[in-house]
Amino acid sequence: MMIECYFDDSSDDRRAKYYACGGLLGSQEQWDFFDILWHTHTHSLKEPFRAANCEGGHGQFEDWPKPMRDDLMARLVNVIYGVRLFGFASVVPVAEFECVFPSLGKERAFGLAATQAIFNAAHIADRVGMDVHLWFEQGQIGIVSSAYESVRMLNWKPAQRLRGISFDTKHLRPLQGADLIAREAYKHMDNLGVRPTRIPIHEMWENLFFMLWTEGSLRYVAAQGWPENPECLAKFSDPPPGARIQHFWEKSWAYHEQKAKSIRELSSGHGSPTESAARGDQGEAGRGESGEKAEES
């Protein structure tokens, strides 16, 4: 049995605020259903779906009125939620990263986020007793391949669960879903304290786990020798209070590991994502954990 993980990056045009690496984890069966349902809603598009273009009315969505774009986004969010894919994102604040690592360059902020995403995928796979294969977009080959090898070569038991990494274009539909999650992670951090929680986050929060690096956590891993010592990320379980990464919608690792176990159950043929996804089940119970008003921007 194999977990498949698809990740993408998201940031602002100048790469000046945050760099996010986010995506989706699921069983092969879940991804098969995702592919069918996603294609149902996007087959008429001229190009692969990109969340930023859909939201902003750019590219192929330039002539789409906002209600049509919002409707497509809502349907695609419901596909992700209905198929019960698990969303994860690691987000690094660029200014703080450059302050702590002035010689590395801001692109390494994505390298840190990607490395943490790979660590997380390996950790989940090991906890549920499954191997994992990773997918990223082709434009990220260099920095992601380096991050992958740095984890795979560690003397760390979950690293043995890593069974390969592949790269493709956004024509691969799961990478379009990863693009949506990465975009939402970036926008959530950018909106903190400024705007209410976005509607897609309210719809999916039960299946999401976002992590935001702080200056304290960056200084902590710098003191532990990152990036020359990537193993320090594997031991980042109980840092001092000022060095903790900020978590969003964490109900404890036990909760998220239970979510991951549902992936194994689906792979074993116990349970199916088809019923809720096919009928467009919105799963209202428990949505909108914070009680905040959600918005689209």
pLDDT in tens, 229-268: 999 998 777 788 889 999 997 654 455 556 656 666 665 6
Cα dihedral sign, 221-224-228-230: negative
The burial class, CB within 10 Å (0-12 / 13-18 / 19+), for 48 is: middle
Q: For residue 215, what are the CA distances in angstroms to 52, 98, 115, 244?
A: 27, 10, 18, 9
Contact status, residue 210 vs residue 39, Cβ threshold 8 Å:
no
Mean pLDDT of 132-149: 95
Q: For residue 218, what are the CA distances in angstroms to 19, 112, 208, 244, 288?
A: 14, 10, 23, 9, 30
pLDDT tens string 57-116: 999 999 999 999 999 999 999 999 999 999 999 999 999 999 999 999 889 999 999 999
pLDDT attached to residue 239: 82
pLDDT attached to residue 238: 76
Can you tell me the distance from the alpha carbon of 197 to that of 191, in angstroms, rounded to the nearest whole number? 8
pLDDT attached to residue 151: 96
pLDDT tens string 175-207: 999 999 999 999 999 999 899 999 999 999 889
Can you tell me the distance from the alpha carbon of 60 to that of 63, in angstroms, rounded to the nearest whole number? 7
User: Which residue, 289, 274, 297, 284, is CA-closest to 83?
Assistant: 274
User: Which residue, 202, 200, 210, is CA-closest to 86?
Assistant: 210
pLDDT tens string 144-182: 999 999 999 999 999 999 999 999 999 999 999 999 999
Contact status, residue 44 vs residue 30, Cβ threshold 8 Å:
no
pLDDT tens string 1-10: 799 999 999 9
Q: For residue 238, what are the CA distances in angstroms to 138, 233, 244?
A: 34, 11, 8
Identify the band that residue 279 occupies on the pLDDT scale cut at 50, 70 and 90: very low
Give the angle subtended at the CA of 175 by the CAs of 169 and 181, to the nearest 5°. Answer: 140
Amino acid at residue number 278: A
pLDDT tens string 20-63: 999 999 999 999 999 999 999 999 999 999 999 999 999 999 99
Amino acid at residue number 172: L
pLDDT attached to residue 293: 36
Q: Name the pTM for this structure.
A: 0.87
Q: What tokens were used for 296?
A: 């689209």
User: Which residue, 246, 251, 252, 223, is CA-closest to 235?
Assistant: 223
